[in-house]
Chains A and B, each alone.
Chain A
Amino acid sequence: MFNLNKEAKLAYTMLIPTISIVFLIILFPIFGNFWLSFKEVKLGDLRAPQPIIKEKLKTKDIEPGDDILIEYRFKNSSQKKPIFNIEITDKISKFISPVEIAEGCSVNNNLLSCYFEEWKPKYNEKIIFKFKANDNFEIDNFNPKESKPRGVADADNILTNLKFSLKNFQKILQKNETIENIKVTFLYSFFATIGALLLGISAALLLEKNFLGKGFFRGLFLFPFVSPVIAVAFTWVYILDPFKGFLNNYLLNNEFISEPIFFLGLKKVDFLGFDFPFTLFIVILFESWRYFPLAFLFILARLQAIPKDLYEASDIDGATRIQQFFYITLPQLLGVISLLFILRFIWNFNKFEDIFLLTGGNAGTRTLTVQVYDEAFALSNMGTASSVAVLIFILLAIFVFIHQKIAPKDIEE
C-alpha cells in the first residue's frame, strides 16, 4: 500500500540523529578506551605542552623619541617534552617602532610575529625587546599590552600518535590486587543479586493480594531504588559509623557489645574457622536493600499474570500453600527470575558509586570499577585505568552474550 522505499528512508532519517549521538557518546568512548589501554598515558599528559608567553614593560616615564624596553618571557609549559614550530603573534602599540628585536622575530603593521624551531623541555628565557617611541607618542593612549601574546606550537601528542605498548596490561596482570579484585567483584555481584532477588520475591509475595493500604506499601517499597545513591549511602555510612553512628551506640548502650564494631572497615572476621569478609557482606546487604524494589516490580507484574485456575485446581487436589508456592508460583516465576538475575548481575558488575561511597574500596571491597577509579585518579595513570576498564568490558561481553542466549524471548514480552 505504501511505498516501502519511502518508508525506510523516513525511518533512517528519524533514527540517524539518535544513532549518531549514541555512537558518539557510547561507542566512540569504548573504542577510545581500547585505544588508551595500549598507551602509557598519565593524568598529567592530558594537557598538551604549550608555549607560555608573558610581556612586561621595563621603561618608565616615556617621552617621544625615547627607547622603550619590553621584556618577553618565553616558557615551555612541559617539563618533559620539547615543542616545535612555535609561532608567536602579538599586537604592539602603534606609537612605537622596533629597534632591536630577537632573532626570528619581525614587526609588520604593528604586529610582532616570531618563529622558533624548537623549545627544549623546561625552556624558560627572558628576552628584552627594544622599541623606540615615535614622534606622535601620546602617553595617555599608550598601552604596551595592546593584546595578549598568542603562541601556537606543535607537540608530540601522546593521545593521538601511533605508539602502542602492552605495558599497561602487563602492569595490571602482575599486580596481585587485580586477581583479588576480580574475585571480590564476582562475589559481590553474585550475592548482591541473590539478596536483591530474595527480598524482591518476598516483597512481591507480600503485596500480591489485595488488602487495605496495598497502594501505600507498593509506593513505600520503591523508596530505596528511587532515592539518590549519595543520600542513601551517606545515611548508611552515618548509621554504621563506629563512634557517632546509631547502630554502634545502640548496641553499646544495651551492652550487646563491649566496644564499637567497624562495620565498614573490617576486612576479615573469623567465623567458625574461616575468614568471613565482613565489610563486603555489609556492602552486599546495602546493595540488596537498595535494588530489591526493581526485582519486586518485575516479579509482582509476573505474579499477577499467573492464571488463578492453577491455584483453584491445586486447592481441590488438597495442596497446601507452601506446596502451591513451590510447585506453581516458583516455576511460573522462573523465567522472569533468570532474566532478572542476569540483568542485575551485569548491573552490579558495573556498579561503582555504591561501593565507592560506602567504603571507598577499602576493607576488602575493591571491585574492578573502583580499581579503575583508583588507577586513574589516585595513581594518576590513565593507561592502566583504561586497561582495567577493558578487562571489565571483556568480562561483561561474555555475560551479555549469555544474556542474549538466555533471554531474547523474555525481552520481547
Chain B
Amino acid sequence: MTNNIYQFFFIYLYSIITLFLLAVIGDFVSISIFLSKNIFIYKNIFLYCFLYAVCFFAIRIIITTQVSNIFIFIISLTLSYFFLINKEINAYQILIIISVFIAFNLLLQKYFTAKNFSNFLFEVSFLKFLKTNSLIFFSFIIIFPFYLMFVSSLKSQMVLLQNPTDLSIPFFYSISDFFSSYIAVITQYNFLNFALNSTIVSFVTVFVSLFFSIPGAYAVARLRFTGRSKISSSILIIYMVPAIVLVIPLYVIFSQLGFRNSLFSLMIVYPATTIPVALYMLQGYFKGIPYELEESALIDGCSRIGVILRITLPLSVPAILSVSLYVFMIAWNEFLFAFMFFR
C-alpha cells in the first residue's frame, strides 16, 4: 500500500511539474516563435495536472499492468477535449502534452513493470524525472534572457511597447525592417567606432599581458630562486584586490597626468589586472611540461631563452590560446574602469 501511495505522489508530482514547465516552454517554443500571440499560462493548470495524475493513478490501480501508450493517448485526448471546449488550451499544447506523456511513459515502463515497485526503483525514477525537468529549467533560465534580447533587437520601439509579451520572431518583416535596429546602431550611433575601440584595447591587453606573463610564469614554474614560493602564493591575492579600491586613485593619478580620457589609460590598467591570472594559469601549464625535454636541450647547449622559445612555447600553444581567450574576454567585458575613466 505504501508503495502505491509513493507512486501516486510520484506521478502526481511529476505530472504537475512537467506540465507546468511544458505549458510555459511549449508556448514559448511552438507558439511564440512562429505566431505573434500573447503567451498565456492557464490559471487552472495545477487543476488539470491533478486531473491527469488522478487518471493515471486510477488506471494503475484498476488495471494494475503497465500503462499502454494507447491508454495515455485516449485519456489525453478526452481531457484535452474538455479543455479545448473551454478555450483554455490549444492544439499545439495538446500535441506537446500527449507526446511528452508518451515519452515519459516509455521511460517509466521499465521501472513500473517490476512486480515490486521498491523504494530504490522509486528513487531512481524520481531522480530521472527530476533530472529531465531540471535540465529544462536550467536551459530555460539561461536561454530566455538571451532569446528576449535577440527578439527585441529585431523589433521597433513601438511594437515592443504595444505588446511586450510578444516573443515571436517577425518573419513577415522585409529584410530592411528586420535588421533596422542593427542598421540604426551602425549608422546613427557610431557603433563601429566603439567596437573598434573595444577591439583595439582587448587585443593590446592580450598581447601586453602575454608578453609580461610568459617569462614570469616560466620563471615561477621552472627556475629556482629565493622568494619563489612567496611570489606564486601572492599572485592570486592580487586577483582579489577590489577594482573599486584601485579606480579612485587611478582616476586621480590619470587626471593629473592628463591621459584619463584616452584608450591608453585602459591599455595600462587592463594588462595589470590580467597579468596575475594569466601568469597563474600559464605557470600551472608550464609545470606540466616534462622537464626532461628542457634539460636535454640545455645539455645540448641551448640557452634558457632558447629553451623557452624552441621548446616550452611551442608545447604550450593550446594553453597560451586559452589564456589569451580568457584575457580577451575579461578586457572585452570590463565595465568599471572604462566607465570611470571616460566619464
| Chain A contact residues, CB within 8 Å of chain B | 2, 4, 7-8, 10-12, 14-15, 17-19, 21-22, 24-26, 28-30, 32-33, 35-36, 41, 46-48, 159, 202-203, 206, 217, 220-221, 223-224, 226-232, 235-236, 238-239, 244-246, 249-250, 253-256, 289, 320-322, 343, 346-347, 349-350, 352-353, 357, 369, 372-373, 376-377, 382, 385-386, 389-390, 392-393, 396, 400, 403-404, 408, 411
Find chain B residues with CB under 8 A from A246 CB. 148, 164-165
A206 touching B138, Cβ below 8 Å: yes
**Cα of A12 to Cα of B216 in the assembled complex, Å:** 9
**Cα of A250 to Cα of B144 in the assembled complex, Å:** 14
Interface majority SS (helix, strand, loop, mixed), chain A:
helix
Find chain B residues with CB under 8 A from A353 CB. 335-336
Most buried by A among B213, B246, B248: B248
**Cα of A373 to Cα of B251 in the assembled complex, Å:** 12
A18 touching B124, Cβ below 8 Å: no
Most buried by A among B152, B224, B272: B272
A24 touching B272, Cβ below 8 Å: yes
Find chain B residues with CB under 8 A from A229 CB. 333, 335
Given A47-B255, A226-B329, list of 10 further CB < 8 A pairs?
A15-B215, A18-B275, A32-B250, A159-B256, A220-B143, A254-B43, A320-B119, A320-B123, A382-B248, A396-B240
User: Chain A interface: which of B69-77, B105-113, B229-237, B313-321?
Assistant: B229-237
Find chain A residues with CB under 8 A from B216 CB. 14-15, 17-19
Give B36-81 interface residues, CB cut-off 8 Å to A.
Answer: 38-41, 43
B123 touching A392, Cβ below 8 Å: no
Most buried by A among B238, B244, B246, B272: B244
**Cα of A390 to Cα of B336 in the assembled complex, Å:** 18
Indicate which residue in A14, A224, A322, A385 contacts B218 across the interface (CB closer than 8 Å).
A14
**Smallest distance from the beta carbon of B6 to chain A beta carbons, Å?**
13
| A15 and B220 contact, Cβ closer than 8 Å, known pairs A21-B212, A26-B246 | yes
Find chain A residues with CB under 8 A from B276 CB. 22
B114 within 8 A of A: no
B160 within 8 A of A: yes
A8 touching B142, Cβ below 8 Å: no
Question: B202-224 vs A: 1/0 string, CB under 8 Å?
Answer: 00000000001101101110011
A4 touching B224, Cβ below 8 Å: yes
What is the size, in residues, of chain B's interface with A at 8 Å between Cβ atoms? 75
Question: B143-183 vs A: 1/0 string, CB under 8 Å?
Answer: 10110110010000000110011000000000000000000
B228 touching A11, Cβ below 8 Å: yes
Indicate which residue in A25, A217, A232 contacts B250 across the interface (CB closer than 8 Å).
A25
Indicate which residue in B119, B243, B252, B335 contacts A230 across the interface (CB closer than 8 Å).
B335
| A228 and B271 contact, Cβ closer than 8 Å, known pairs A47-B255, A221-B138, A322-B123 | no
| A235 and B134 contact, Cβ closer than 8 Å, known pairs A18-B212, A22-B276, A46-B252 | no
| Chain B contact residues, CB within 8 Å of chain A | 38-41, 43, 119-120, 123-124, 127, 131, 134-135, 138-139, 141-143, 145-146, 148-149, 152, 160-161, 164-165, 212-213, 215-216, 218-220, 223-226, 228, 231, 233, 236-238, 240-246, 248-253, 255-256, 268-269, 271-273, 275-276, 279, 298, 304, 329, 332-333, 335-336, 343
Indicate which residue in B134, B138, B220, B245 contacts A393 across the interface (CB closer than 8 Å).
B245
B241 touching A7, Cβ below 8 Å: no
A235 touching B145, Cβ below 8 Å: yes
Find chain A residues with CB under 8 A from B135 CB. 206, 217
Find chain A residues with CB under 8 A from B332 CB. 228
**Smallest distance from the beta carbon of B171 to chain A beta carbons, Å?**
20
**Smallest distance from the beta carbon of B192 to chain A beta carbons, Å?**
17
**Smallest distance from the beta carbon of A151 to chain B beta carbons, Å?**
17
**Cα of A302 to Cα of B7 in the assembled complex, Å:** 35
Most buried by A among B161, B240, B279: B240
Find chain B residues with CB under 8 A from A2 CB. 298
Residue of B nearest to A202 (CB): B134
| 5 A-B pairs with the lowest CB-CB distances in the bound complex, closest first | A32-B249, A25-B272, A350-B242, A8-B225, A14-B215
A396 touching B242, Cβ below 8 Å: yes
Residue of B nearest to A9 (CB): B225
Find chain A residues with CB under 8 A from B224 CB. 4, 7-8, 11
Indicate which residue in B119, B252, B279 contacts A32 across the interface (CB closer than 8 Å).
B252
Find chain A residues with CB under 8 A from B225 CB. 7-8, 11-12
| A289 and B329 contact, Cβ closer than 8 Å, known pairs A8-B223, A238-B148, A254-B40 | no
A400 touching B252, Cβ below 8 Å: no
**Smallest distance from the beta carbon of A286 to chain B beta carbons, Å?**
10
**Smallest distance from the beta carbon of A381 to chain B beta carbons, Å?**
11
A-B contact pairs, 20 of them (CB 8 A): A8-B224, A11-B228, A12-B219, A15-B220, A22-B272, A28-B249, A32-B249, A36-B252, A47-B255, A202-B134, A206-B135, A235-B146, A249-B164, A350-B244, A353-B335, A369-B242, A372-B248, A389-B248, A408-B233, A411-B236
**Smallest distance from the beta carbon of B147 to chain A beta carbons, Å?**
10
| A206 and B248 contact, Cβ closer than 8 Å, known pairs A10-B223, A14-B218 | no
A352 touching B272, Cβ below 8 Å: no
**Smallest distance from the beta carbon of A273 to chain B beta carbons, Å?**
27
| A320 and B120 contact, Cβ closer than 8 Å, known pairs A14-B218, A220-B142, A350-B242 | yes
B165 touching A244, Cβ below 8 Å: no
**Cα of A188 to Cα of B162 in the assembled complex, Å:** 36
| A392 and B245 contact, Cβ closer than 8 Å, known pairs A15-B231, A18-B279 | yes
B149 touching A231, Cβ below 8 Å: yes
A206 touching B253, Cβ below 8 Å: no
B245 touching A239, Cβ below 8 Å: no
**Cα of A226 to Cα of B223 in the assembled complex, Å:** 34
**Smallest distance from the beta carbon of B256 to chain A beta carbons, Å?**
7
**Smallest distance from the beta carbon of A195 to chain B beta carbons, Å?**
12
